[in-house]
A and B are shown apart, each in its own frame.
Chain A
Amino acid sequence: MILQTVTKIVFFIILTFGVELFISGHNNPGGGFIGGLVLSSAFVLLYLVYDIETVHRGTPFDFKRVAALGVLLAVGTGVLSLLFGVPFLSQSTREFDLPVFGETELGTMTIFEAGVALTVLGVVVTIILGISEDVE
């Protein structure tokens, strides 16, 4: 009971930390892979505390598809560079003047990393679920 209550809060802290790691990865330690691992640990915690069915009701998506989407996103940014006639996997950045954030640098690298994060999330959760299913 205590665990469930704590988890309700901690889940979001972990998610935020995952996103933080993911975003800081551009210039500091962190990045898509670690961010994805932390994100997936949040889900694993949920699976541990509640049972699989309850979590499935709350997350109505197939994690295999999440992984596929992630790979698609990551490879997609690489392939997009083919359309612009630059070498495969080229990344570009540009400065934008956004309202709240002010002068911000946005790069296609972030999309690639988001793909990596989603892939890691999908694969880790799929593996954990795969192992747990055998026990039942």
Chain B
Amino acid sequence: MITLKLLKRDIKLGIVERLILYLVVLFTFFMVKDCSRAIADIQVRFSMQSSCTIMDYYVYCMSGMGFYQFDPTQGFLIPYLWFISQLGISYIIAYYAEKDFAENGVNVMVAGRNRSAWWFSKVIWCIMSVLIYFVATFIACSCFAMFYGAKPSLGVTDEFLKIVYGYNINYLPYKDLMLIVFVVPIAVTAGICLVQMLMSFIISPVTSFALTCAVYILSAYYTAWFLPGSYTMWVRSSYFDVRGLNPLSGLLIAAFMVIAVCFVGNSYFEKKDII
């Protein structure tokens, strides 16, 4: 019951009153612009018959980058829109919980009389923030896509994806596509954000945010099961590349991060001096 009361407070102060931060999702305009350019190019070169849907745009925008292989003639270029997308939510969740603890921790803890409830409320708040961020990203992406002439449909255009990714999407059931485009990236991002939130208490919000940036950069450079950022790029999924990452291992890593953060954070706050 007290967790719900604290959560209501966190939703009000940490989401509703900070909605302006979610305007960061407007960066999707640049992704959509890129996508629109790619579609125009494909239509000219391949005489593509069907027009694309908003889901095509979203799938294209959130693809990230394929495996990077070191090439001395070419520098490493981070997929900056994917990077902004991931850092957007990391920034949104970076300061609220730690600041709330530092400024109002004494009053709120004493009023709520429960350290665990306080922590679990922050965990749920963080997961909700990630979900809302992805929903907002999808909505923004869809609106811009429709502006560029996309059909308002949640289906994917096989022809478009086949040309762009060289893969016949018919072989991939829609639910599997949804798994790698929505479920795995959202779950892994939630896990990363939770770890970042916990670290913001143990180290500091700034250092924790910087470490998250470093993890994403490393994830773009190396593809490894233990670098969670790779799971947020669906083109690195084993569905699209034989060397790719199994989406289920992404879900397992996400579940591990969520459970570990719940337990470690709870134990940390049970023993923490509030001074």
Is chain B a partner of chain A in the same complex?
Answer: no
Q: Which residues of A approach B to under 8 Å, CB–CB?
A: none
